[in-house]
Amino acid sequence: MPTIDIRKLSAEQLKNAMVTMGEKPFRAKQVHEWLWKRSAMSFEEMTNLSKELRVKLESEFMIRPMVEDVIQKSKDGTIKIRYQLHDGNMIEGVLIPVEGRVTACVSSQVGCSLSCKFCATGFMGRKRNLDPAEIYDQIVLLNRRSLENYDMPLTNVVFMGMGEPLLNYANVMQGIDYVVSPDGLNMSAKRITVSTAGIAKMIVKLGDDGVKFNLALSLHAANDNKRNTIMAINETNNLNALVQALNYFYDKTGGRITFEYILFDKFNDSRTDAEELVKLCRKVPGAKVNIIEYNNVQDVPYTKTNETRRDEFIHYLESNDVVANVRLSRGKDIDAACGQLANKA
């Protein structure tokens, strides 16, 4: 039985493998194209290779695609899919159709280690990181579902599913590279947003690496005391450190930065909270705010704010020249909305 996952080989390693097998080096380019441009899930699909070479590849290597396990459709058109990985672990991805766009919400880890007090995924703990091929597969499979269900390809990808992307930095960056590369899916990096709970040194690394995608910070409170209460990561990555890192990121990349802000009833939805958020936004060039409707999670004491307080909060932001968009929850009835992913299908 082959034990080497061919999708773990670099382009150079793949070329060396072809030569070792007695093949011409250009065969490596053909195989690479099948893996990352045409998204082949088996060697049998590689029809411009000889039958002999395909048999040889199958005897030496394996491809381990993730597979759909459970598919749930919401009454609002949202689709949540649970995927089974080669080792039996499960992750979830979500398709969100809105006004001529389809956004894929993808995962970066099996579970999450950050244990934010309002998020169901955090209760799972972190089981392991996803590898680049698993990140790539999610986007490929969600795109196929988008074409099948909405008759259009993905327009956007957000890393807002299970896990903290910046704690799986190398694999997430490589997975995104396969998606945006002309030798891969050739998707525009500007259509991708990576969301982080806030790890300052890794935000700086994003700047140093000159990434082209957008960055979102899960903020949810604009002072350290409140943020410490709901997000333990803030105790080692406080708001001052994050502002410095975000400014560094912006200076290096010019990339768009969004603050994600869930409004919790009588916790972070007062005029004082809005004032603090405006002050924070003014410290980060071009920062905008996504106001997110909270989705109830079992055994969590927080509830969503009412519409009156939400509208007053947004009005204050806008009257102080802060761009604020309301992101209404989709897929709540199938536990597919923000903070609800926990493999409960």
Q: What residues act catalytically?
A: 92, 338
Nearest by Cα to 179 from 212, 140, 141: 140
Q: Are strands 79-84 and 67-73 parallel, antiparallel or unpaired?
A: antiparallel
CA 132 to CA 174: how far, in whole Å?
6
The angle at the Cα of 295, spanning 292 to 301, to the nearest 5 degrees, equals: 110
CA 219 to CA 259: how far, in whole Å?
6
- Residue 139: CB atoms within 10 A of its CB come to 23
First to last CA, the chain: 33
CA 195 to CA 51: how far, in whole Å?
44
CA 277 to CA 221: how far, in whole Å?
8
Check if the beta carbon of residue 55 is closer than 8 Å to that of residue 116: no
